[in-house]
Amino acid sequence: MGRGILTATDIEWLRGEKEYASEKAELNKRQDIRDRVFQALIDFELLASELPDADRQKIFQRLSDESDSHGAGESAAVIEFLYKGLNDLTIDPNYVAAGPKETSVERFLAFRNALTTGIARGKSEYTNPQEEPPDVVTVASNAYLFEFPDDDDVRSELETDQWREVNKHSHGDIGDQDDIAFFLQAMIQRQIHERISARHKAANKKLKDYNDFEGGEADRS
């Protein structure tokens, strides 16, 4: 089997089977892995759009044949990696303490946007000529596809100027550190859900809850 993003030495090191004699050598190894993974993620844009269909099919046929889960387990690991990676920034308390700015809201929606955009692009290739590809792919609004930092971490990042700024725009009695931390998180959550609701409205879909099909009462419409 040929190598992928990781070399045999990379795999040994990640599994704890290899140690380096110096801290510098280990730092170089970590940097090397980061650079190759970063470039691989960039390369997937080209793979998704330009790799011939027959080659993509052969890759996943092999994955299905050689995997105990028919490729589901390996694909789940890819999604897990993307979820963790895109949400690493959302658990940084600085983004909450800075308030619900446009850039912070986009960070919280990054995984959801990647998921829905990727599905929409994929569906556009499989759509029958008589059908229109979806303009918007929606995910249920109660599906939390983002993470928040701990409240204690947010409070520790708040500065006096930020307290004053929040109090200036509030209409209540917000004033202490705990209340402001809660208020900032609530404001960001509100903007996130307003953005999600706008997408649902644009899709002109009526969202329904889907139960387990095995129960026999699922709504398939």
Q: What is the pLDDT of residues 34-91, one digit of tens each?
A: 999 999 999 999 999 999 999 999 999 999 999 999 999 999 999 999 999 999 989 9
The answer to the question of residue 69 being in a domain is no
20 within 8 A of 26, measured Cβ to Cβ:
yes
The answer to whether the beta carbons of residues 39 and 6 sit under 8 Å apart is no
In angstroms, the CA 37 to CA 131 distance is 37
Helix-strand-coil split of the chain, %, nearest 5: 65, 0, 35
Residue 132 lies in a domain: yes
State what percent of residues in the chain have pLDDT above 90. Answer: 43
Band of pLDDT at residue 187, cut at 50, 70 and 90: confident
Task: Give the separation between CA 207 and CA 188, rounded to whole angstroms.
Answer: 23
Q: 19 in a domain, yes or no?
A: no
Instruction: Report d(CA 150, CA 185) in Å as an integer.
Output: 10
* Domain assignment present for 142: yes
Our CA dihedral for 31, 35, 41, 42, rounded to 10 degrees, sits at: 150
Domain presence at residue 14: no
Domain contains 175: yes
Q: From 116, 132, 122, 134, select the one nearest 195 (Cα to Cα).
A: 116
pLDDT of residue 2: 63
167: domain range? Answer: 90-205
Identify whether the C-beta of residue 93 lies closer than 8 Å to the C-beta of residue 177. no
- Domain count of the chain? 1
What tokens appear for 147 in the block?
């993470």
Q: Across all residues in the chain, what is the average pLDDT?
A: 83
pLDDT band, residue 172 (cuts 50/70/90): low
pLDDT (tens digit per residue) in 79-105? 999 999 999 989 988 878 877 777 778
- Report the pLDDT averaged over residues 172-180: 70
CA distances to 73, 101, 122, 143 from 105, in Å: 31, 6, 25, 16
Instruction: To the nearest 10°, report the CA torsion of 31, 36, 40, 43.
Output: 110
Alpha-carbon gap, residue 200 to 163, rounded angstroms: 34
Answer with the residue of higher pLDDT: 213 or 10.
10
Tell whether 101 is covered by a domain.
yes
User: Does a structural domain hold residue 124?
Assistant: yes
* pTM (2 d.p.): 0.78
